[in-house]
Amino acid sequence: MTPLNFRGLLPACVVLALPFGAAAARAVAIDREALVARHSPRLRALDYDAPLTVGNGGFAFTADVTGLQTFPAEYQRAGVPVETLSRWAWACDENPAGYVLADSNRDYVHPDGSIHGYPTDASGAAGQWLRKNPRIHPLGQISLDWDKPGGGEIAPEDIRDIDQRLDLWRGVIHSRYTLNGHAVTVATACLPDSDTVLLRLESDLVAAGSLGVRLAFPRGHDLGVKNTPAYDWSAPESHQSSQIAPNLLLRRVSGLDYAVALNRPATPAGTPHAFVVRAEPGRRVLSLAIRFSPAANTEPVAEPDFERVARHWETFWRTGAAADFAGSTHPLAEKFERRIVLSQYLTAVQMAGDSPPQESGLTCATWYGKHHTEMIWWHAAHFALWGRPELLARNLDWYVARLPEARAVASSRGLRGARWAKMVGPDLRESPGGNPLIAWNQPHPIYLSELLLRATADRSACLARYGDLVQETADALAAMLWLDPKRGRYVLGPPLWIAQEIYDPATSRNPGFELAYWRWALGVAQTWRERRGLSREPLWDDIIARVSPLPEKDGKYVALESRPDTWENVESRHDHPSMLMALGVLPATDFVDHATMLRTLDAVLRDWDWETKIWGWDYPMIAMTAARLGRPDVAVDILLRDGPNNRYLPNGHCPQRSDEKQRPGQPRREIAVYLPANGAFLSAAALILGGWDGANRPHPGLPQDGAWTVRAEGWKPLP
């Protein structure tokens, strides 16, 4: 596809300055280097919760305190894993039984009495194979290789005098420490346009020939663990690591062939699937470039070019939006600013590839690496809002390319248009489980296309590129509704698994958020038709006029019309309070009553079960509703609240604990890092700082309490 011109409606040089009380922000350009630099993570001791990552959006390398991946078992067990992952690397076992999706079907009754099968049986042999294949594959472990005096393996306690820093402005990890009394420095980076890790290892130990770099290749992940699995080092005979040239290795594992090319020769380490690289005798610096690629790419690798990495990241930080809270007296200002900077970095490194991300980005595996399409809004909407729509386009172009598969899903379910499967690999094939009954993923491509259109100067090209995506997504939206002849209203579900994932999909009907999203998205799709010179779709207009109203009870919105007990039954008040998204994620319309939503927000703040399970994206989602309702104090408080699944690590990540019962006070982290939290945070920050169409003042989500000094540049308001 020809690149679109995504230079936005508000140039990066424009500054929105807002004086709050006595703390007045001067309308001068932000010193972006200083802003970014003051939040570069720095470690003075080993912290298993704080590995640091370099990457290019579709590939990432996460390093431990050594600047490499020397202690993967310790980090995986006690904190955040250190892995090497790419969105092109998928393994797939043979399928001798010939499993197809229909093998995991169960029957469900539709409102019109018809019966359809959906692949919701995840526990059977077919369901398990289809969930685990294809799956993301770890490309390799790159660690220190040290001839330890007296023998034995290098251990965490061997690393002393630690000083490690991720230079966010230049995209380089600098690690300094001592090893057996000898100083060691390591620079770690990743090329912006190649899945190439750059390393510069310097020490007297390198010159002595006792310190180098080791490459080791696991069989994959432990498939007995769905989320945050460890590497599987068993069965070395089941995969291949072939050295076909001194600088080139070929890997073959479970249907995946890939190449590992180096700028220096490697030698076998004496154990299966392991190789060692050492500097030339007497040289105290080992400069190493290691490229991972599909097997067809066997071109030589150039010497490490750290300056090219630096130029890329400086350009990244100098473009797009920025917010500087220097001079603010509010106690949350520094936390807000730091979380913005780190979340921008992490999402750019891990969530901007050619294939949409998994929920743990490129740090570790969750749900076998599958992309959950209901998360794409949280993953990618913020890119357009922060003035980087080209990164959103990378994600959305995958949806355009997968339209044929989405049409096939729709056809198999008796629908028109393109129906987006929920838990998918790169081929969009559905994974069995509750996934096929999720529906709130369906309107996302329409919303995201609208954000891209608002951010591009070449509107005609944008309409042409994404017009079919919008049209066919809307066709399926309309076909998923049923016109109830008794009520004269369009009904959504059953079967339906709503965004608040605690209700029986076989009986769920008319969830509030989904109804609002259907109506709004169909309206946007009509506007797209008119922009393209097409007439309005009569069916869509009829749905907009006659869709079922949002369910409410006792003056507050509830999750479901079919089970309106949200405010009577505490068991209905955990997981996502999704009814709030009808005014927050979505803009104000005449379909949602402002006063009713305000009462609903107050009820959520007062009565929701925050401890059982609430996810990292719920806090930003609730903050967006509060901001649009004119409650900026609540918006900032809830966005930055230190609560379950909203505690951010020194590296900017937000782990999620498990639903499983654990010892009191020690819930297990089921998901070591959770990128939808970072993406949702940035979207909420964009709403708070950049506002929305019709907002009556700058930075409408910040309290006017005299405690905020704000310089903000490059904003894209929400609808």
pLDDT in tens, 406-459: 999 999 999 999 999 999 999 999 999 988 999 999 999 999 999 999 999 999
Does the structure show a pLDDT above 70 at 51?
yes
- The reported pLDDT for the residue numbered 6 is 53
Is residue 309 within 8 Å of residue 191, measured between CB atoms?
yes
Rounded Cα gap, residues 165 and 47, in angstroms: 13
With beta carbons less than 8 A apart as the criterion, state whether 14 and 699 touch. Answer: no
Instruction: Give the per-residue pLDDT at 26.
Output: 45
Q: Give the lowest-confidence range in 110-114, 270-274, 435-439, 663-667.
A: 663-667
Give Rg (Cα) of the chain: 26
The pLDDT assigned to 425 comes to 96
Q: Give residue 2's pLDDT.
A: 57
Assigned architecture for domain 35-93+133-313? Distorted Sandwich (2.70)
Dump pLDDT digits (tens) for 244-254.
999 999 999 99
Q: What is the pLDDT of residue 716?
A: 84
Q: Calculate the CA 47 to chain-centre distance.
A: 23
Dihedral pair phi/psi, residue 205, rounded to 5°? -65, -35
The Cα angle at residue 224 between residues 219 and 225, in degrees rounded to 5 = 100
- How many whole angstroms from its chain centre is CA 24? 35
Q: Is the pLDDT of residue 659 over 60?
A: no
The count of other CB atoms within 10 Å of the CB of residue 590 is 5
* Nearest CA-CA partner of 424 in 398, 452, 391: 398
Closest CA to 221 of 98, 348, 127, 93: 93
CA distance 430 to 420: 9
Predicted confidence band of residue 715 (pLDDT cuts 50, 70, 90) = confident
- The pLDDT assigned to 234 comes to 97
The residue to which tokens 């042409």 are assigned: 464
Angle at 647 between CA 643 and CA 652, to 5 degrees: 155
List helix spans (H) across 351-493: 376-385, 389-401, 403-412, 444-455, 459-479
Binned at pLDDT 50, 70 and 90, residue 336 comes out as very high
What average pLDDT does this structure show over 626-644?
97
34-60 mean pLDDT: 98
**Position 657 confidence tier, pLDDT thresholds 50, 70, 90:** confident
Residue 114: CB atoms within 10 Å: 10
pLDDT at 11 over 50: no
| Mean per-residue pLDDT, 312-325 | 97
User: Would you kindly state where each structural domain of the chain is located, as residue ranges?
Assistant: 35-93+133-313
Q: What pLDDT score does 662 carry?
A: 44
Q: Which residues contact 14 (CB under 8 A, 6 or more apart)?
A: 713, 714
Say how far apart CA 302 and CA 290 lie, in whole Å.
10
**3-state DSSP percent of the chain in helix, strand and coil, to 5:** 30, 20, 45
Give the pLDDT of residue 78: 92
Mean local confidence (pLDDT), 259-275:
97
How do residues 561-609 score in pLDDT, each as one tens digit? Answer: 999 999 999 999 999 999 999 999 999 999 999 999 999 999 999 999 9
Q: What is the spatial distance between Cα 519 and Cα 333, in angstroms, rounded to a whole number?
A: 37
Query: What is the three-class DSSP state of 116?
Result: strand
Burial degree of 487 (CB within 10 A; 0-12, 13-18, 19+): exposed
Q: Mean pLDDT for the chain?
A: 94
Cite the DSSP H helix spans in 351-438. Answer: 376-385, 389-401, 403-412
CA dihedral 217, 223, 229, 230 (to 10 degrees): -40
Q: Quick one: pLDDT at residue 669?
A: 84
> What CA–CA distance (Å, rounded) separates 711 from 32?
11
d(Cα 442, Cα 440) in Å, to the nearest integer? Answer: 5
The whole-number pLDDT of residue 613 equals 85
Burial status of residue 425 (CB atoms within 10 A of its CB: 0-12, 13-18, 19 or more): buried
Assign 3-class secondary structure to 145-194: EECCCCCCCCCHHHEEEEEEEEECCCCEEEEEEEECCEEEEEEEEECCCC
Those residues whose C-beta lies under 8 Å from the C-beta of residue 137, and which sit 6 or more positions away, are 89, 90, 91, 220, 221, 253, 254, 256
- 709: three-class secondary structure by DSSP: strand
472-512 per-position pLDDT tens digit: 999 999 999 999 999 999 999 999 999 999 999 999 999 99
* pLDDT for res 27: 57
The DSSP-derived string for 209-252 is TSEEEEEE--SEE-TT-SBSPPEE---GGGSEEEEEETTEEEEE
The per-residue pLDDT for range 168-213, each reduced to its tens digit, is 999 999 999 999 999 999 999 999 999 999 999 999 999 999 999 9
Instruction: Assess whether pLDDT exceeds 50 at residue 120.
Output: yes
Q: With cut-offs at 50, 70 and 90, classify the pLDDT of residue 166.
A: very high
Contacts of 364 (CB under 8 A, 6+ apart): 76, 80, 81, 83, 85, 228, 229, 672, 673
Pairing of strands 240-245, 220-221: unpaired
Q: Which two tokens stand for residue 308?
A: 């090219």
Please state the rounded mean pLDDT for residues 115-143: 97
Q: What is the mean pLDDT of residues 373-378?
A: 98
Residue 15 has pLDDT above 60, yes or no: no
Closest CA to 560 of 622, 487, 616, 508: 508
Return the DSSP state at 196.
E
The answer on pLDDT for 697 being more than 50 is yes
Question: What mean pLDDT is predicted for residues 388-392?
Answer: 97
Q: How confident is the model at residue 668, as a pLDDT?
A: 62
Distance, CA of 685 to CA of 683 (rounded, Å): 5
